[in-house]
Amino acid sequence: MRIGIVCPYSWDVPGGVQFHIRDLAEHLIGLGHEVSVLAPADDDTPLPEYVVSAGRAVPVPYNGSVARLNFGFLSAARVRRWLHDGSFDVLHIHEPAAPSLALLACWAASGPIVGTFHTSNPRSRAMIAAYPILQPALEKISARIAVSEYARRTLVEHLGGDAVVIPNGVDVGFFSRAEPEPAWQGGTIGFIGRIDEPRKGLPALMRAFPRILEAHPGTRLLVAGRGDQEEAAAGLPPEVRGQVEFLGMVSDEDKARLLRSVDLYVAPNTGGESFGIILVEAMSAGAPVLAADLDAFRQVLDRGRAGELFPVGDADALADSAVRLLGDPAALARLREAGSRHVRRFDWGTVGADILAVYETVTAGAASVATDEPSGFLARFGRG
Amino acid sequence: MTETLIWIAVALAAVGVYLSWTAGRLDRLHARIDAARAALDAQLLRRASVAQELATSGVLDPASSIVLYEAAHAARKAEDDQREVAESELSQALRAVFADSSQLEAVREAPGGPAALGELTSAVRRVPMARRFHNDAVRAARAVRAHRVVRWFRLAGHAPFPMAFEMDDEVPDALGADAQFDAG
């Protein structure tokens, strides 16, 4: 099958959607399909051979943070050329409602189109204003995929219609086969995420940590992620500060080893998550998970059966749960086991098969993807 | 005077372009519904065929075989207005038959069993998918057809009013997404 995938966000900047598209493309190529990804990228960044650059992205404030997006006539022309050259059987557009490449591709293409909705932002005024512009483009999408039940609900409320839920995929084997690092073992709690992004929730964990340390002396907190370490650790008493280790940005390999090594993985996020891939990665590595009770996390953790949940932003509850779990090896073993079993639902083998099933459902008997020529008006007069 | 005429001409042309564009939109939506309906029909037929094959294979116990055969046969033969009910009954029959995991084991051990089971699993899981895509297209078309402009100028032409396909398509637990590894 010839598959065209459109990535709305800049390929140079790491992010959940970009990683998902990279893994999906590589999984599909591994199965023998022809895949081309159209993504914004600087001209001098090295790209994998299946990625086609749509030009440089411009930073714009969108959806609560700064996103790097593409728009304008030049980008629109590149989208058309890519569609024309690719002659795809199916076009898979990610985040079609984002004012970016995805929307441009939606306008420019006709034929079997699949759209994946990643975000679950509350209804904004911009969305309401843009509705008449979005709707004609979005109604070309033959099949909608939402990455979680939560994302599906947002989609149904904002845009109407329906979607199938297919979670983001993870290479479970990559995490479960990683070698634990002895330096990171022995009474350790793990956290991975941007330090300076408040929605990742590190401050709550920092507030809870002194109490955890009191109950289990010698426990270490390993923090991996970008951001200002001194600012994050400010206000901690010196004896507590000594038990917190900042690892900075870690490679994918080190992330897997870290997750394999820790006794407990804590996800104290306070919002802005529509899926929670990091929890799936932690479960793949067999790390017991303690997470904030966000809708998205609750669903990824099988309504709390594959990991413990605590009320969002509640540092005391976080400390209570962590103290109890660290003092109960049997409970930790149970979480490890439940997580490892549940996570197979998210393996690329399962997720990839579901996505291919969607492709096959929409392409059955349909023509291939073409550029949607705006000649309909004249043609109509000629016909009428 | 000439100026007024020019403006009227421009306004009429603009209205014409808008009407033509909306008609094109509707045209594409109707084509999308047709494609989605064909895909749904194909998945339903595939599901009924595999179910019937399993029912006549002699692998299942006689009572289950009869229940499944009856339901699959009725689903394949149903007239359009009875189709939703017949397909829902097939879903119920499949759930009843495969509620007991020993049935699944029996099928898997039979020669050719794993392949038949794989096909059944894929069919029962694609039916809800195809149905959602179909009903989503129906909803989008209905939203456009409800516009005043579309009604006044009869832009929908003679295309029949799109109807959603409503049925019980719940997948048997033993064949669901979470079960496929535990069972295998």
From the list A110, A341, A361, the residue facing B129 with the nearest CB is: A361
- Examine the domain organization and report whether A9 and A39 are in the same domain: yes
Q: How far is CA A235 from CA A206, A232, A240, A270, B95, in A?
A: 9, 9, 10, 21, 58
CB atoms within 10 A of CB A48: 11
Q: Which B residues in the span 69-108 are in contact with A, Cβ-Cβ below 8 Å?
A: none
- Examine the domain organization and report whether A204 and A105 are in the same domain: no
**B182: contact with A, CB 8 A cutoff:** yes
Dihedral sign, Cα of residue B42, residue B48, residue B52, residue B53: positive
- pLDDT per residue over A6-57, tens digit each? 998 888 877 778 889 999 999 999 999 999 999 988 878 888 999 998 888 7
From the list A136, A161, A358, the residue facing B129 with the nearest CB is: A358
Q: Greater confidence, B85 or A103?
A: B85
pLDDT value at position B184? 31
pLDDT value at position B2? 86
- pLDDT per residue over A125-139, tens digit each? 566 667 777 788 888
Q: Tell me which chain B residue has its CA closest to the CA of residue A143.
A: B133
pLDDT value at position A382? 42
CATH number of the CATH domain containing A18: 3.40.50.2000
Residue B6, pLDDT above cutoff 90: yes
3-state secondary structure of A299: helix
For A363, list phi and psi in degrees, rounded to 5: -90, -15
User: What residue has token string 């109509």?
Assistant: A380
Q: What is the residue-averaged pLDDT of chain B? A: 87
Residue B182, pLDDT above cutoff 70: no
- Tell me which chain A residues have a C-beta less than 8 angstroms from the C-beta of B24: 376-377, 380
Contact A20, A37 (CB under 8 A): no
- Examine the domain organization and report whether A129 and A176 are in the same domain: no
> A66 pairs with which residues across the strands?
A61
Containing domain of residue A116, as a range? 2-169+348-383
Three-state SS string over B49-100 comes to HHHHHHHHCCCCCHHHHHHHHHHHHHHHHCCHHHHHHHHHHHHHHHHHHCCC
pLDDT value at position B183? 34
pLDDT value at position B150? 83
**Residue A60 backbone zone (phi > 0: left; psi -120 to 50: alpha; other: beta):** beta
- Examine the domain organization and report whether A367 and A266 are in the same domain: no
- Examine the domain organization and report whether A111 and A221 are in the same domain: no
- Tell me which chain A residues have a C-beta less than 8 angstroms from the C-beta of B133: 142-144, 164, 361-362
Contact A347, A170 (CB under 8 A): yes
Contact A339, A306 (CB under 8 A): yes
pLDDT value at position B161? 87
Q: Tell me which chain B residue has its CA closest to the CA of residue A357.
A: B126
- pLDDT per residue over B74-114, tens digit each? 999 988 889 999 999 999 999 998 887 788 888 888 888 88
- Examine the domain organization and report whether A305 and A355 are in the same domain: no
Q: How far is CA B36 from CA B41, B133, B137, in A?
A: 9, 6, 8
- Examine the domain organization and report whether A41 and A87 are in the same domain: yes
- Report how many helices (DSSP H) and strands (DSSP E) chain A contains, helices first: 16, 17
Give the mean model confidence (pLDDT) for residues A347-369.
Answer: 86
Give the mean model confidence (pLDDT) for residues B36-64.
Answer: 90
Residues in chain B: 184
Contact A162, B135 (CB under 8 A): yes
3-state secondary structure of A161: coil
Q: Which B residues in the span 114-153 are in contact with A, Cβ-Cβ below 8 Å?
A: 122, 125-126, 128-130, 132-133, 135-137, 139-140, 143-144
CB atoms within 10 A of CB B29: 24
- Tell me which chain B residues have a C-beta less than 8 angstroms from the C-beta of A113: none
- Examine the domain organization and report whether A29 and A151 are in the same domain: yes
Contact A76, A101 (CB under 8 A): no
- pLDDT per residue over A269-315, tens digit each? 998 777 888 999 999 999 999 999 998 899 889 888 999 999 998 99
- Examine the domain organization and report whether A165 and A268 are in the same domain: no
Tell if the CB–CB gap between A377 and B136 is shorter than 8 Å: no
Q: Tell me which chain B residue has its CA closest to the CA of residue A375.
A: B21
d(CA A241, CA A193): 19
**B11: contact with A, CB 8 A cutoff:** no
- pLDDT per residue over A184-216, tens digit each? 998 899 999 888 888 888 999 999 999 999 999
Give the mean model confidence (pLDDT) for residues B145-160.
Answer: 83
d(CA A4, CA A356): 13
- Tell me which chain B residues have a C-beta less than 8 angstroms from the C-beta of A158: none
- Examine the domain organization and report whether A65 and A180 are in the same domain: no
pTM (two decimals): 0.81
pLDDT value at position A25? 95
Total domain count, chain A: 2
User: What residue has token string 């109890």?
Assistant: A324
- Examine the domain organization and report whether A177 and A130 are in the same domain: no
Q: What is the residue-averaged pLDDT of chain A? A: 86
- Examine the domain organization and report whether A185 and A264 are in the same domain: yes
pLDDT value at position B1? 78
